[in-house]
Every structure is written in structure tokens, then in C-alpha cells.
Amino acid sequence: LYFCFLQMTANDCQDPPKYWTIHGLWPDKAEDCNRTWHFNVTEIKDLMSDMRHYWPDVLHSSLNRTQFWKHEWDKHGTCAATLEVLNSQKKYFGKALELYQHVDLNSCLLKAGIKPSSSYYKMTAIKEALTRFYGVTPKIQCLPPEEGEKAQTIGQIEFCFTKELQLRNCTALKGGSNTVQAPLKLGTEELSVCNDTLPTYYPSEVQ
């Protein structure tokens, strides 16, 4: 499983959060597993306060903020539901929120002295800090340098879990890739695995 944090803004984003938020909880190698199991926001009404805070739709300034959650449930939650611990909408979203709190990426980065800055970081230093803290290697994705620029911009950090929801290294499994995720598009930009050799910009927000 993947657990992804997204801190991105688009031109239509209003008041973006200044902390890492949840993108999704994604099973490997499966999408849209049950098109008849429709998202029902009333099933997660008890989670609504945490959902709005930790799992906001940071890419669309839509009044209907549930569309992002519906997309994640339809595409990924219906597949994750093969695990008993994730086999309802409340369990799926609730467990993702629980894992978010457990991983506590915001606190980890601060403790490692990695915080938004106008100066650059070495990607290897960021990776080493995360691996030292968690004992596993996450997958870090960046926006490539803009034309005329030399630095990539950190955009998303994926944590990988076993089916028992224990942290594991985000490395390709034998027999092929362990992800079916297409690169995330942000306007005309696309996130991809960060380049270890490029200076890395960690801004408070991306314009």
C-alpha cells in the first residue's frame, strides 16, 4: 500500500495548508475494483473535521470538497477493501487518517531540521533523514526544474506499507513495478521521482 502526502497548490487554490496533507491510501496494482460501490459521505460524517483538515482537496477551489474523497474511494478504496481492516468507507478513510498521524511527517521533517526555505537542500540529505527516522525508504517526488532554473521542487512523499499496514521500503517488488500510479499532473507540470543530484527546493507553497 502507498500512503502519500501532497503539498501542492494550483492557480485556483485558495488558502493552501502550510503542512503536509494526505493524497491517498493506494493498493498496489489495482484500480476501480467495484464500480457499484458508490461513495457516501454520510458514512464518514464522524471523520469530517479531520478529513477537512488533513485530507483537503488542495488542487481545486470547488465548493464541493467531497469530490476528491469520492475519487480516492472509487479508484483506490474499493480495491483496498479486500483487506478486512479497510473493508468499509469509514475504515478506509479512518485508517488513512490514523496512519497519517502515526507517520507524523510534519514533525519528523522539523526534527530533522528540514523546513520550507528559500535556500536549497540536497536530495540525498532529505532521503537520509527520512530513512534514519522511519527505518524505511520512502519515495520522494518532485516537480522538475522550470526552464532556466537548476533546482527541482519537492512535491510528494509516499510511504509504503505491508498488507499488515507496517512500514516497508518503497522499492520495486520482484516481477515488476509495485505501482500503477500515473505521474500526478499539476497544470502543465508533472511530478516524478526526484533526481538525487539536483538541488532541491522545499517551499512553503508552490505557485
Tell me the residue type at 147: E
189 tagged catalytic = no
60 tagged catalytic = no
DSSP letter (8 states) at residue 118? S
Q: How is residue 122 written as a grid cell?
A: 540536497
DSSP-derived secondary structure for 118-137: SSEEEHHHHHHHHHHHHSS-
Q: How far is it, in rounded angstroms, from Cα 31 to Cα 28? A: 9
Options 76, 189, 190, 205, the catalytic residue: 76
Options 23, 31, 102, 164, the catalytic residue: 23
Query: Where do we find the cell 520482484?
Result: 174
101, with CB counted inside 10 A (0-12, 13-18, 19+), is exposed
The contacts of residue 24 (CB under 8 Å, 6+ apart) are 2, 3, 4, 72, 76, 96
Q: How is residue 126 written as a grid cell?
A: 532529505
Q: What is the largest CA-CA distance in the chain?
A: 50
Options 72, 102, 146, 149, the catalytic residue: 72
71 tagged catalytic = no
Q: What are the CA-CA distances from residue 95 to residues 50, 145, 166 (Å)?
A: 12, 35, 12
Report the relative pairing of strands 152-161 and 199-201 from DSSP bridges.
Answer: parallel
Residues identified as active-site: 23, 72, 76
